[in-house]
Amino acid sequence: MNVAQGAISADLLQRIHACGSDAAALEGLVAGLVGQHAQASTSVLNLIASHNRLSPRALALLSSGVAEHIMSGHIGSRDHAGGSFIDAIDSVVVELSRGLFGADTVEYRAMSGAVANGLVLFAAAAPGDTILALPARHGGHYTYREAGYAGVRGLRVVDIPCSDPGGEIELDALRECAKRERPKAIVIGTAWMLAPYPVGALRGIADEVGALLVYDGAHILGLVAGGQFQDPLREGAHVLTGSTQKTLGGPIGGLVLAADRAFGERVIAGTSGLISNYHNNRIAALAVTLAETRQFGRDYAAQTVGNARTLAQALAAHGVPVLGRAPDFTASHVVLIDPTALPDGDSGFVRLEAAGLLATRVPLPASHPARRGLRLGSAAVTRAGMKAPEMQQIAALVARVLLAREAPSRVAAESAALAARFPGVRYCIE
């Protein structure tokens, strides 16, 4: 038995083998598990910053007929016949993305934001080249570090100089580092951005050494589209990558948005070599998501950021150690909690889940590589229609679990009751 199989429970293995070769029985097992997941999801408060909710119209297109037909290649370049309608659907995604993000070229075939980062690195640098990237302890994502695509590509990764413990980029030190290392790319962006980056100053440094400025906006893509966070491409980044399922609220996937046409076309050419088929039903669902973002995105993004700030302020008022600069604590959808002063430390993550409050463990600078921080996000609960009063309620529930150490089962009932009041999806086509 390999490592992956070792994670399967003995009970589930027994149920799988009991079905034998009976396809109907196996379908019933899988359908039952899907139903259980759906039921469980409606009885919790999803505060995972990388999660969101698909609109009903987008969700329906994931099971549409375009899921049956592979159409590799890209717009205007297909080896399979019958791709004219796929070209048209893809074109909607490209044009809407250009308008929302100010991009010249759009690569939409990445299956995730992580893959989008990989496509950029493969186009930007060759084996043996150097890139400057945020240190892991300050949120540098593994995809552009040694353990991810940068390592697979054979790139040399040098840390961007950052202050401790805050993690602010030290621009003067970065300039000297860039002049010394002559990187092909400078990569910024984390999974817990609380505040914007000095993109204009970073672009100036990149230009001095002929480097590409890459902004990993996986988490804040929907906030950018809604005009509630910084606008990376218009502020000077050469490339913006991002996930389509986080604050953007679409199907799981990734985008590469380039301000420079020549580099964007290099990404597109490389993608055709690295990705064949890319789930045309996902692109159709993404088109609807982008259309909804264009119509409802500003209201949604404003409420998402407002909810995060309300949640952070309410948590701090209860005595929960919230990271970030008071009084707002965050300019995004992310709220960070430092559990070192909490009774349960980072094990509060497990207690929160048992209480129906889903969070994420993330590394903090002071404890890296230990996973000790708690990250909350407001995107999914905002898409459900929750506002400031509900954020106050959620903060009180979190404090009861983390500070008062109340029995999670008691809190879970209240979490489920609050979730039940918001069963739908807002900021989308009715």
Given a cut of 80, is residue 95 above it in pLDDT? yes
Phi, psi of 106 (to 5 degrees): -135, 125
Tell me the mean pLDDT in the region 61-71.
Answer: 92
pLDDT of res. 36: 93
- Can you tell me the distance from the alpha carbon of 219 to that of 240, in angstroms, rounded to the nearest whole number? 12
Sign of CA dihedral 277, 279, 283, 284: positive
Give the Cα separation of 79 and 69 in Å (integer): 13
pLDDT in tens, 9-19: 889 999 999 99
Residue 6 has pLDDT above 70, yes or no: no
pLDDT digits over 142-162, tens only?
A: 999 999 999 999 999 999 999
CB atoms inside a 10 Å sphere around CB 105: 21
Q: What is the pLDDT of residue 3?
A: 44
Q: Do domains 58-290 and 297-420 have the same CATH topology?
A: no
Contact 383, 249 (CB under 8 A): yes
Handedness of CA 319, 320, 323, 326 (dihedral sign): negative
What is the structure's pLDDT at 430? 81
Residue ranges covered by each domain of the chain: 58-290, 297-420
**Cβ neighbour number for residue 129 with a 10 Å cutoff:** 17
d(CA 118, CA 404): 44
CA-CA distance, 144 to 214, in Å (whole number)?
10
> Structurally, what CATH architecture does the domain formed by 58-290 represent?
3-Layer(aba) Sandwich (3.40)
Kindly tell me if the per-residue pLDDT of 1 is higher than 80: no
How much is the pTM? 0.95
Question: Domain 297-420 classified CATH 3.90.1150.10?
Answer: yes
Taking 70 as the threshold, does the pLDDT of residue 5 lie above it? no
Q: Flag whether pLDDT at 346 surpasses 60.
A: yes
Q: Which two tokens stand for residue 231?
A: 């606008």
Handedness of CA 178, 181, 186, 191 (dihedral sign): negative
Two tokens, residue 273: 């070599």
Tens of pLDDT, residue by residue over 100-133, are: 999 999 999 999 999 999 999 999 999 999 999 9
